[in-house]
Structure 1
Amino acid sequence: MSSPVLCDGDEATFEPMFGPRQVVLSGPAILTGTGIATILGRRICVVGDEQRAQWPAQYFIAGYSPGAGIVSIEMLDASQTAPYVAGQTPLMLQGTGAQFTARFTPTAPAVMASTPFTPDTTAPGMGRGAFIAHQQFVRA
């Protein structure tokens, strides 16, 4: 089944839980397309654009002060790439009910609210997310 092609300005959404951490983005997760072709004046997103995207976020763990970190896309679902290429690079698609794998990496660890005031680990946590395409008529 076909799926909308993603473009510059489309969005990524993330499930809130990355392991034990509840993650809240600081703002919308807007995609930046670098493809040569455009749709309604917006560059298309090609495979690789997802790896350049990072979004700041806060995170929460019960019994800890809030921490901060970066959310990124680790790996696309197979249905989120076009089976053919445009300009030598596969297109990124919204996907049909598909979710990509996301990563949250703490940059300012949460700290335990009581003694011994131990900081959270800085090991990344994995989560899931999906894309929201703002155009629906160009599909692949």
Structure 2
Amino acid sequence: MSYFVIVDNDTLQFGTTFGMYTVTPTEPCMIKASGIAQILNKKVCVVGDEKKVSIKATYMNATYPTPGTGSITITSLAADQQATFALSTAPLIVIGSQFIALFTPQAPASNPQGPEAAPSPQPGNGKFMNSQTFVTTG
């Protein structure tokens, strides 16, 4: 069986809906790798690297159409995104299904006709994209 392994600077794709917010990243969505092993001269991502992801974004909703700002983080990987059969200081991260993400507002969205939003963190999801590297097992 083959698995696509996530490596340094692979792309992340987040859903646009985080609870009641529509969220738009404002910077490239990539993950940095810390594994010792390399594939095609790129370090592999290991479990724990997802915790270092923090992507700046804007948000709004129907009630507060003037965007606010915040950041998207990854809170947990899906079980099928952790390759326990292959290690490089920790299990490798593979494409798998979807991870759980969290959007945390920092500057509130607003409504020109009313008060600012009382921002609160909202859950969402995302997935790994564009990996061209793979490992084969057994």
TM-score, structure 1 as length reference: 0.89
After TM superposition, the runs of 4+ consecutive aligned structure 1 residues lying more than 4 A away are: none
Deviations 1:74-95 (A, max 9, x none): 1100000002242341110111
Match of 1:99 in 2: 98
Question: In the alignment, is residue 54 of structure 1 matched against residue 54 of structure 2?
Answer: yes
CA distance in 2, matches of 1:139, 1:25: 33
Deviations 1:23-74 (A, max 9, x none): 0001221110000001111100000000011000011111321100000101
Question: In the alignment, is residue 109 of structure 1 matched against residue 83 of structure 2?
Answer: no
Letter in 1 for 2:58: Q
TM-score, structure 2 as length reference: 0.91
Change (3 A) 1:68 1:139: farther
SS in 1 for 2:57: strand
CA distance in 2, matches of 1:113, 1:62: 12
Letter in 2 for 1:134: S
SS in 2 for 1:94: coil
CA distance in 2, matches of 1:137, 1:127: 27
Pairing 1:32-51 to 2, within 5 Å after superposition: 32-51=32-51
Instruction: Work out the number of aligned pairs and report it.
Output: 136
CA contact (8 A) 2:6 2:133 kept: no
Give the gaps of 5 or more residues in structure 2.
none
Pairing 1:1-140 to 2, within 5 Å after superposition: 2-64=2-64, 65-95=66-96, 98-115=97-114, 117=115, 119-139=116-136
Identity %: 38
SS in 2 for 1:30: coil
SS in 2 for 1:4: strand
SS in 1 for 2:80: helix
Compute the RMSD of aligned alpha carbons.
1.5
Change (3 A) 1:139 1:59: farther
